[in-house]
């Protein structure tokens, strides 16, 4: 039985910035690259994840009148929910569901490897097939309301 691993979907290099990058620059990077998450890495160790800034973080900052010239560290989410590259793909979907997130940072040996978005999961038939075939089934019952 071949189980698809997280590292297969996280094959593109992640887009990163440092904690001192301005919020507005993070937003510009997201718009230019058409992505929803920037991984915030340690300035001296670019494979060490210290946080993430998502579209939701940017929207929340703007809605709360946070100065977009402030550094990303002011709005980044930390600690980061990560998954090792050799984990099965259904685990990525489970983590996204449990934490209500749209991106999961993938590591290899604890070092930054890539990012998997919800779009990555639903855009490839082979991934969907893997989720259906190997995912852990849950019972779904109507709520008692």
Cα distances (Å, whole numbers) of residue 52 to 26, 77, 97: 10, 5, 18
Q: Say whether pLDDT at 52 is over 80.
A: yes
Residues 6+ apart with CB under 8 A from 1: 134
Q: Tell which wins on pLDDT, 26 or 136.
A: 26
Q: What is the pLDDT of residues 31-48, one digit of tens each?
A: 999 999 999 999 999 999
- Domains in the chain, CATH or no CATH each: 6-134 (3.10.580.10)
Q: pTM of the entire structure?
A: 0.84
């Amino acid at each position: 039985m071949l189980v698809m691993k997280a590292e297969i979907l996280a094959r593109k290099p992640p887009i990163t910035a440092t904690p001192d990058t301005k919020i507005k620059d993070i937003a510009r990077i997201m718009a230019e690259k058409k992505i929803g998450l920037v991984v915030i890495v340690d300035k001296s160790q670019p494979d060490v994840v210290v946080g993430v800034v998502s579209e939701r973080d940017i929207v929340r900052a703007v809605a709360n009148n946070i100065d977009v010239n402030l550094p990303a560290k002011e709005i980044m989410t930390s600690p980061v929910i990560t998954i090792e590259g050799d984990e099965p793909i259904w685990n990525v979907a489970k983590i996204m569901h449990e934490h209500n997130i749209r991106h999961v940072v993938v590591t290899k040996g604890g070092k930054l490897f890539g990012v998997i978005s919800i779009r990555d999961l639903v855009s490839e038939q082979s991934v969907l097939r893997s989720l259906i075939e190997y995912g852990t089934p849950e019972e779904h019952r109507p709520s008692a309301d």
